[in-house]
Amino acid sequence: MDLITKEKHEKYTPLHEIHLKLGARMIEFAGWLMPVQYKSILEEHEIVRTHAGLFDISHMGEFILEGADVIDFLQHLMTNDLKLLEESKSQYSCMCYGNGTVVDDMIYYEETPERFRIIINAGNIRKDFQWLSEHLGTYNVKISDVSAKRCRLALQGPKSDKLLAPLVDSDLSALNRFFFTKCNLNEIPIIIARTGYTGEKGFEISFDIKSVETIWNALQRSGASPIGLGARDTLRLEACYSLYGHEISDTITPIEANIGWVVKEKKGIDFIGKDVLLRQKAEGTSRILVGINLLERGIIRQNYKLFKNGEYIGYVTSGGYSPTLNKTIGLAFIKTEYRAIGTEFEIEIRKKFLKAIVVSTPFYRKKNNK
Amino acid sequence: MDYKLPSELKYTPTHEWVRVENSLIVTGISDYAQHQLGDIVYIELPELGAIFDKGNVIEEIESVKAVSEFLMPLSGEIIEVNEKLANNPELVNSSPYGDGWFVKIKISDPKELEKLLSLDDYQEVIKKDEK
């Protein structure tokens, strides 16, 4: 049999030694050596859906943008509308090229109207820094890449409030979704945001790299289990969150990716990609991202092809086994005429054609998700 | 890491194990291989009576992470497949040498048996693989 090839990697997160001690299996991801699983992807998935899991997401990038014009600058680059934002709140957005395809997707945090923190994808750090810098022009904004100075963790799952609350000097019950607070854990300053990538309640946390062991150990001791990238992917797929390079990329627009809600009209504001994106939003696109289920046994993976009556009609962007639903799920680009829920088609898997169907998304939605 | 590797079995460099039962062999994947793959969620089984050469791909193993191929360890005819794997592919994880066996093969060239690896040789393969 053919085992997964070990690719070369460049970087380790500050938690590398801890991952090894925990017996994690490490793989390359976007140039980083990351834990794919500690014990079992299925078990880790279940822990996050029912209890609480702890993820090392320090491979992701973190920039600070400061200056009098930060809001105007971001309004020019982002598709979402910063007028909907306020201090201590964060917002998900895409940053697009002039043709509407995606440079990156990200969450930015308004610390003050003149200071923003941005968390970006690991594989896009250099590209994003360059893109932001190129567009500074006369805006009074300074960009700093603090990725290597800080550590980022996610604590996700229905028990995450219960585990984190006793450790910090802030009232987390007052923290609403997409809000964040600067507080202390064991007297160490940390930023806690009620955001996530799993479809569960939970937090994303950022703090100085020198406290990495203290914070990780405190969270683990509180009862949160370490979770690898494998479960991170099955969890986000069930919740239908986009992954750069799959559902969105520099050849895909947010409208095609069916996240048109991140593109706002922003009256009177010119933002990069606006013309194309607003036209696509009004007129539609020739392909659209949909959720699919495989109706026969098998597993679907990225780039498998979709056919209807022998005609090629699209491809899978992400696919796999859903532990929560115990079936094969996927996201796929499909010719827009076939987007209706219930449409049946075929997917080519190793020269066989298996029946599949368009279904509603997300595949998994937590009830009462704060 | 310690893997269960029974000394009475023969192995291939591609992580299949072989138990010889007269002119039949039983085969599956090693404990090391199932550890590397992680949770197995689907196995595409070959058809009974199919004839393959050594090294042909006869099954696709889907783990949560990725798809891998199961290679025919010796040339011959598929005379039995482990139907339990259709509904319980996780048996390969929990019992790689027992309930998680893959197929029984009537081998066509007994000379090929000589080229299989002993436990010692296979442990060398794993050592190199882990580097």
Q: Residue B96 falls within a domain, yes or no?
A: yes
Task: Give the mean model confidence (pLDDT) for residues B98-106.
Answer: 97
Task: Give the mean model confidence (pLDDT) for residues A355-363.
Answer: 98
Judged by CB atoms within 8 Å, which residues 3-62 of B form the interface with A? 14-16, 29, 33, 36-39, 41-42, 44, 60-62
Residue A2: its pLDDT value, please? 58
Task: Say whether residue B103 is in contact with chain A using an 8 A CB cutoff.
Answer: no
The angle formed by the CA atoms of residues A207, A209 and A215, to the nearest 5 degrees, is: 60
Chain B residue at shortest CA distance from A235 = B64
Residue B131 has pLDDT above 80, yes or no: no
Chain B residues with CB inside 8 Å of A301's CB? 66-67
Tell me the average pLDDT of chain A.
96
Which pLDDT band, with edges at 50, 70 and 90, does A155 fall under? very high
Q: Residue B124 falls within a domain, yes or no?
A: no
Task: Give the mean model confidence (pLDDT) for residues A168-172.
Answer: 97
Residue A299: its pLDDT value, please? 95
Task: Give the mean model confidence (pLDDT) for residues A182-194.
Answer: 97
Query: In whole angstroms, what is the distance from residue B76 CA to residue A125 CA?
Result: 52
Residue A370 has pLDDT above 50, yes or no: no
Instruction: Decide if A31 contacts A10 (C-beta within 8 A).
Output: yes
Residue A284: its pLDDT value, please? 97
What is A1-284's CATH number?
Answer: 3.30.1360.120
Which pLDDT band, with edges at 50, 70 and 90, does B2 fall under? confident
Q: Residue A299 is nearest to which of B33, B38, B41, comparing CB atoms?
A: B41
Task: Give the mean model confidence (pLDDT) for residues A300-312.
Answer: 97
Domain parsing of chain A, residue ranges: 1-284, 286-370
Chain A residues with CB inside 8 Å of B71's CB? 1-2
Residue A49 has pLDDT above 90, yes or no: yes
Instruction: Decide if A212 contacts A230 (C-beta within 8 A).
Output: no
Residue A129 has pLDDT above 90, yes or no: yes
The pTM score is 0.92
Q: Which of B1, B29, B34, B41 to mutate to test the interface with A (most CBs of A within 10 A)?
A: B41
A1/B29 CB distance under 8 A = yes
Instruction: Decide if A254 contacts A93 (C-beta within 8 A).
Output: no
Cα A69 off chain centre by: 27
Cα A141 off chain centre by: 26
Print the domain residue range for B71. 11-109
Residue A270 has pLDDT above 50, yes or no: yes
Chain A, chain B: beta-carbon pairs less than 8 Å apart? 63
Residue B6 has pLDDT above 60, yes or no: yes
Task: Give the mean model confidence (pLDDT) for residues A185-201.
Answer: 97
**Closest chain A C-alpha to B39 CA, distance in angstroms:** 6
Residue A4 has pLDDT above 60, yes or no: no
Task: Identify the CATH homologous superfamily for domain A286-370.
Answer: Aminomethyltransferase beta-barrel domains (2.40.30.110)
Q: How many domains does chain B have?
A: 1
Q: Residue A41 is nearest to which of B15, B38, B61, comparing CB atoms?
A: B38
B69/A2 CB distance under 8 A = yes
A321/B71 CB distance under 8 A = no
Residue with the larger pLDDT of the pair A271 and A3? A271
The angle formed by the CA atoms of residues A95, A96 and A97, to the nearest 5 degrees, is: 145
What is the domain-level CATH number for residue B48? 2.40.50.100
Residue A9 has pLDDT above 70, yes or no: no
**Closest chain A C-alpha to B65 CA, distance in angstroms:** 7
Residue A368: its pLDDT value, please? 60
Q: Residue B122 falls within a domain, yes or no?
A: no
Residue A366: its pLDDT value, please? 86
Task: Give the mean model confidence (pLDDT) for residues A233-238.
Answer: 98
Residue A233 has pLDDT above 60, yes or no: yes
Judged by CB atoms within 8 Å, which residues 69-98 of B form the interface with A? 69-71, 86
Residue A227 has pLDDT above 90, yes or no: yes
**Closest chain A C-alpha to B17 CA, distance in angstroms:** 11
Could you count the other beta carbons within 10 Å of the beta carbon of residue A14? Answer: 19
Q: What is the pLDDT of residues A324-358, one digit of tens each?
A: 999 999 999 999 999 999 999 999 998 899 999 99
Which pLDDT band, with edges at 50, 70 and 90, does B65 fall under? confident
Residue A10 has pLDDT above 90, yes or no: no
A41/B37 CB distance under 8 A = no
Residue A136: its pLDDT value, please? 97
Q: What is the pLDDT of residues A13-45, one digit of tens each?
A: 999 999 999 999 999 999 999 999 999 999 999
Chain B residues with CB inside 8 Å of A40's CB? 38-39
Cα A39 off chain centre by: 23
Query: In whole angstroms, what is the distance from residue B93 CA to residue B30 CA?
Result: 10
Residue B22: its pLDDT value, please? 78
Percentages helix, strand, coil for chain B (3-state, rounded to 5) are 25, 35, 40
